[in-house]
Amino acid sequence: MKFIVNSQVFAKQLQAISGVITNNNTVPIITCFHFHLDEGKLIAKATDLETTIITTIEVESGKLDGLTDIAVPSRLLLDILKNMDDAPLTFIVDDNNFSIEIVSGDGKYHLAGNNAETYPSLPIVADTVSTNISAFTLTNAINKTIFAASTDETRLQMSGIFCEMNPECVTFVATDAHKLVRYRRYDVNATETTSFILPRKPINLVKNILGTYKEDTNVLMAFNNTNVTFTFDNFHIICRLVDGKYPNYEAAIPKDNPNKLTVDRTSFLNVLRRVGLFASQSTHQVRLGIEDRNLSISAEDMEFSNDAHEHMPCSYDGEPMEIGFNAKFLTEMVSNLNSEQILIEMSHPSRAGIIFPVVESEEAPKEDILMLVMPVMLAN
């Protein structure tokens, strides 16, 4: 087995798929890349048994005599490639003992490969429903929701992004029971109504890889009851869906919220960041006092005798009220919106606040976003 490949292209694509690899003492072969040499191309694969990422790399020349598959230690190979100049690399694999020789200019490097026969085979993903989605739309949906997903591994159903599809739209939801984001796209749909939970790790990997592509790159998203696949350009990603039922998130969204606060998003975000520095390190509580056209934002840390208080103009329709929120949660949400102004709807200091971007357009919206944050009870 022999092939020649450009070092920079090779390194870039292997780095992209390496994020799925974990140190697994029980299945050491999955710490390797799996290489399969075909006519004019090298198919590289990485897996953690739950998620598999495959990329196709063009080779300058390839010799198909003898061995066509080899497992290569991923960490050592990536470390070698990091220090290579932009030049052709020649890989020569010994068919008998799986040793690998890498030739670059005047340098030669030898490393031990492994028999690829023990490498896990690809899961069969059949009877799928599919939809096309742009790289921009998918990346945007992940960015605007993943931060709200739970990091508690004992609550797996809430650790990923819930995806609902129907012929009208697609909805992405994430929550950790303290905050919730619902992101809906009307320019993406599926032929039938279905739902599933996308796991956090592979979704972040998809986002990172797509970040290097043009916004209009088409992503084919196909799914069945157990797996979802993402196919674009020279990448194919297969991941196992999270088992279980997602919470009824719609029931958590208050429907009657008569108190409506509108503020400049950037100004509000900057005040939150300043005042939030003075909040208690245990609760991160900031207090919003709202009346007429004045919004006061305050925080105090009694343990260290620190406090801060700022006023800013606002537009408010409702009864005067004081409500407490976690400054970190509120800051995360507001920073993930893009509008000039935001609308916060509330009903009572003990009930969730709902945040919307204020969009001034007569055109039918392509997206709809709602963010919910639970209050922190105020101490008198």
pLDDT tens for residues 344-375? 999 999 999 999 999 877 676 789 999 999 99
Q: Which CATH superfamily is domain 253-373 in?
A: DNA Polymerase III, subunit A, domain 2 (3.10.150.10)
Which residue blocks in 45-172 are alpha helix, DSSP H? 74-82, 135-143
What pLDDT band is residue 64 in, cutting at 50, 70 and 90?
low
Distance CA 173, CA 167 (A): 18
Residue 129 has pLDDT above 90, yes or no: no
Between 67 and 246, the more confident residue is 246
pLDDT tens for residues 144-188? 999 999 998 888 899 999 999 999 999 999 999 999 999 999 999
What is 2-118's CATH number, 3.10.150.10, 3.30.70.600, 3.30.750.24, 2.30.30.700?
3.10.150.10
DSSP string spanning 191-254? SS-EEEEE-HHHHHHHHHHHTTS-TT-EEEEEE-SSEEEEEETTEEEEEEPPPSPPP-HHHHS-
What pLDDT band is residue 102 in, cutting at 50, 70 and 90?
very high
CB atoms within 10 A of CB 339: 14
Distance CA 227, CA 206 (A): 15
Task: Give the 3-state secondary structure of residue 77.
Answer: helix
Helix axes 135-143, 200-210, angle to 10 degrees: 130
Same fold, 2-118 and 253-373: yes
Q: Give me the CATH topology for the region 129-247.
A: DNA Polymerase III; Chain A, domain 2 (3.10.150)
Reported residue count of the chain is 380
| Domain locations in the chain as residue ranges | 2-118, 129-247, 253-373
Q: Which single residue is written with the structure tokens 């694509």?
A: 13
DSSP state of 29: G
pLDDT tens for residues 291-336? 989 999 999 998 899 999 999 999 999 999 999 999 999 999 999 9
